[in-house]
Amino acid sequence: MDKELMLDVGQANELKLAFRRAGWTNRDVKRLTEGFTLEHILPIVRGYAEVMPYTIDCDANPFVPYDWHVMEHRKMGLFEWDPTRIELFWSSDQRASSFSIADSDKVRQELAEKVVLNANVLDWLLQNPHLIPDEWMQKVNGVSLHTYFWGTIYANAHGDLFVRCLHRSKVVRWDWGYVGFGKNWVCCGPSAVLVS
C-alpha cells in the first residue's frame, strides 16, 4: 500500500499532459476535485470496476411538451451512445442551399427508410451536453445549426405537426426547439440518422 500521496512536479506534469490529451479544461479539472467525483473514479483506476457505455432507452415514452401529444415515436430499443454511428443527414432540398426552405413532407419521405434518432436521444443529450459532438456546434452563415430528431413527431390540439431539434442558444448553452411541418418548412440543420 502506498504511503500518503505526495504529488511531485513530474507527476503534476504527467497529469497536465494527460488532461490535455483528453481535451480537459481547467473548469473540468476543478469539477473533478469537487464532491465525491474522485472517490467514484478510484475503483475504475484500480481495476475493481469498469465504465459502462452510455445507454439511452429509446423505447421509453418521450417527453411531451406543452399541450402536445405524440403522433409517431419510432422505438429503437436500448441505444449505446456512439457519435461515430450517427450521420447528420441533409435532404436534397437542404443540400440546394445552406439555409433552406424545404417541404417537410419531402424531407420526411427521404428519411422514411433511414433509422432516425428519436426525441429520447435529444433529451438525453440535453442532460449530457458534454457528449454532444463538436461538429454539431457549427454555424452556417452565422446561424447555429439545428439537429432534428425525426424519430418522434408531435401534434398540437389543432393537429399541426412538429419535430423537435437540438441547438445552441444565444447564451451559449444547448437547448431544444421545434419546427412545424409545411411546404415552407424553414430549416437550418440536418437530421440525426443512425449509420447502417
Digit-coded pLDDT (tens) for 4-34: 888 889 999 999 999 999 888 898 888 888 8
* pLDDT beyond 80 at 2: no
- Beta 69-73 vs 55-57: how paired, if at all? unpaired
Of 60, 62, 58, whose CA–CA distance to 153 is shortest?
Answer: 62
What are the tens digits of pLDDT across the range 142-160? 667 889 999 999 999 999 9
Provide the mean pLDDT of the chain: 85
Confidence of residue 108 (pLDDT cuts 50, 70, 90): confident
Higher pLDDT, 58 or 143: 58
* pLDDT beyond 80 at 167: yes
Top-confidence range, 89-93, 130-134, 186-190 = 130-134
Query: Does residue 90 sit in helix, strand or coil?
Result: coil
* pLDDT beyond 80 at 172: no
Predicted pLDDT of residue 96: 59
Of 190, 63, 56, 50, whose CA–CA distance to 131 is shortest?
Answer: 56
Predicted pLDDT of residue 136: 85
> Are 106 and 93 in contact, with CB atoms under 8 Å apart?
yes
Predicted pLDDT of residue 72: 96
pTM over 0.85: no
* pLDDT beyond 90 at 137: no
